[in-house]
Structure 1
């Protein structure tokens, strides 16, 4: 559960832009490289985006920002790790796989009385699974009905918000409900479509708390389950911050490398649009901007472009407003950085140079 309150923003006695500061002035942000700093309290929002091809230094850049955010800004860090290479010092890691003692529960309820409850969670999850399982409207409606039955069995009801605090069901309950509907052809088909999810069991195990500095290692899961698990975690992080209420400070940063594994997640769109006012920032990284939704890109103030594949040059140049020649001239761990209208070229200080 998120309870950490961010320290008051550190004020800078200077008129420096978010990109540079004189060497004798106090640092109130995170060094990206050279004399370029990221100051989350001085920009329009605390969201960031990193684009870079294989071997460009994307992972080292994201890890460097995550590490410095925890140590220099003293904010909570949540890392959704699809490739198992995002480990940084001081973390608590939760590996999620078939033999893990813990899992992720997509049926955790949003406790916001105006935008949560079991019925809305059932609809939200059915919409997510509709894409993954290629469900028609009949199966989607059936899934909503069965999920609501699972909540009812736990005595959790939409009209009784106090019941939302009870332990929610998980996919073991969902499997049991579908198994009992042997005479329902649609239920049998839906059970077959969900058989891989039930077989892996990661959605049937207890979920550890999100914690102060956690990394969720999803690298052992197939892509379809990675997407569901990642979206569930991102949604839970956002919901927890909505409950904490508005703030002018930064509470938490969520980091996601290889954002394409999440597809165009509704949870990430919500964080990009509304996370700032709840003290939640989002940093995503990918090899191509086409893997990141337009909502996330348009609501991300800070953008870093590292070397990309030649086939990505035209799109990257248009999206981030740099020339193709400038992007093509970049070497690994060199980046074009844009803070809104301000832009510069820097050499990234990677994670391996920041930790002992």
Structure 2
């Protein structure tokens, strides 16, 4: 990738020389970018041009578009995430690396994400959710202490519903559980704490409830259209048989002198704690972003994730889940040959909402460790509100124009002089800092932006063409 940012402003004004300022990730210490520009500063235009250069340079792009305005990139394919589209990703798919992945690591990651966006998610709910996740995996034969059991296939929501309707339980064990499976498992657990009984008894009770619901539906149809009596009689016979199975299952559980349920109380604390966790899972399930039906990107190398319809909380959860998957994929590919090659770009617009000071946060992990795997994390914001963990690991910094009230913050965090800030003119002159080898703290350079509306901008535009 080679992107002409514009012309060196000083050289153009003082000496009349057209000296291009070029952003080349391979020549920087890493491929991470911080781009700051208030509304009206041309930030969106600059983002589009950078993304275009990256796409033409052969990199894969994942663009997290909160305003639905970053789709004009060569080769881009878009997917809108909402309850209506039903696209999402299964958060229970495992990383198979025995050192960095597995059941416990994924459980910790999911709990950490939910904790980050949920202020009233206490330690008891954290522990209960983590145990639910681990136990849900175990119900599919996926065990935390056995890496050989971790490999499973991914399933779509449509296929999952088909197998559930046909009661193909054994075939379901070939796939990773989904968030819907986790929710169903949690609901079974809370019912067992309320009513007692083991899993067999609870499954029998759930089947009886479904039969009774079918009977109510049938009675409604009878009143409306006159359903044949033999159909009702057949269903009532099934209900009677299922009631006997429930009684037998509960009797068997009582006679077995169970200890599992006592352990469940220790794991999940109480039904009230579990109910709180279930309510959280219900909200996540309703959002649709964790459906197991992946968006139809196919083999597109430029993927635009349109997330405007999601709440801030849902956007944070979604973005970090995808960043984790991208990072794991890059690690599986291994380090790049040069150590500076740009393979993947992750573009976060309105990025401050995603940041955390937690060192294990996936954004901070990528900022520290992703250089050798070819990931460039490009973060745009209206103010210089980047955490130190990101800004100190950033190979390129672009300031397009910020309100004077943020100048002191910019001077402290970005290490730009007040004089440098004064020369910035939105859509005409920006400040660029490129960290390269042998330069411990290079200065910002003022750059004339390609712009057909000014004489200097037209000269920059001709050089960038």
TM, length-normalised to structure 1: 0.85
- 2: distance between equivalents of 1:111 and 1:309? 47
Correspondences of 1:1-356 after superposition (within 5 Å): 29-34=2-7, 35-71=20-56, 73-87=57-71, 88-134=73-119, 135-166=121-152, 167=154, 168-180=176-188, 181-182=190-191, 183=194, 184-208=271-295, 212-247=301-336, 248=338, 249-264=341-356, 266-290=361-385, 292-333=386-427, 334-340=429-435, 341-349=442-450
Cα deviation 1:41-67 (Å, max 9, x = unaligned): 111111111011111122221221111
Please state whether the residue corresponding to 1:306 is helix, strand or coil.
strand
Say whether the 8 Å CA contact 1:112–1:242 is kept in structure 2: no
TM, length-normalised to structure 2: 0.66
Say whether the 8 Å CA contact 1:64–1:349 is kept in structure 2: no
- 1: distance between equivalents of 2:315 and 2:387? 18
**Deviation of residue 217 (structure 1)?**
1.0
Cα deviation 1:182-233 (Å, max 9, x = unaligned): 3321110122234322222221232246852211111110111000001101
- 2: distance between equivalents of 1:216 and 1:60? 18
Cα deviation 1:273-332 (Å, max 9, x = unaligned): 111111111111111222x22211110021001111222111012222222343244222
Q: Which runs of 5+ in 2 are unaligned?
A: 8-19, 155-175, 195-270, 436-441, 452-460
**Deviation of residue 89 (structure 1)?**
2.9
User: Across the two proteins, how many residue pairs are aligned to each other?
Assistant: 325
Please tell me the root mean square deviation across aligned C-alpha atoms, in Å: 2.3
Question: For the pair shown, which has the larger CA radius of gyration, 1 or 2?
Answer: 2
Say whether the 8 Å CA contact 1:227–1:263 is kept in structure 2: no
Say whether the 8 Å CA contact 1:336–1:344 is kept in structure 2: yes
Say whether the 8 Å CA contact 1:307–1:328 is kept in structure 2: no
**Deviation of residue 347 (structure 1)?**
2.9
Cα deviation 1:127-153 (Å, max 9, x = unaligned): 121122231111101101111122223
- 2: distance between equivalents of 1:153 and 1:317? 54
Distance 1:187 1:246, change over 3 A: same
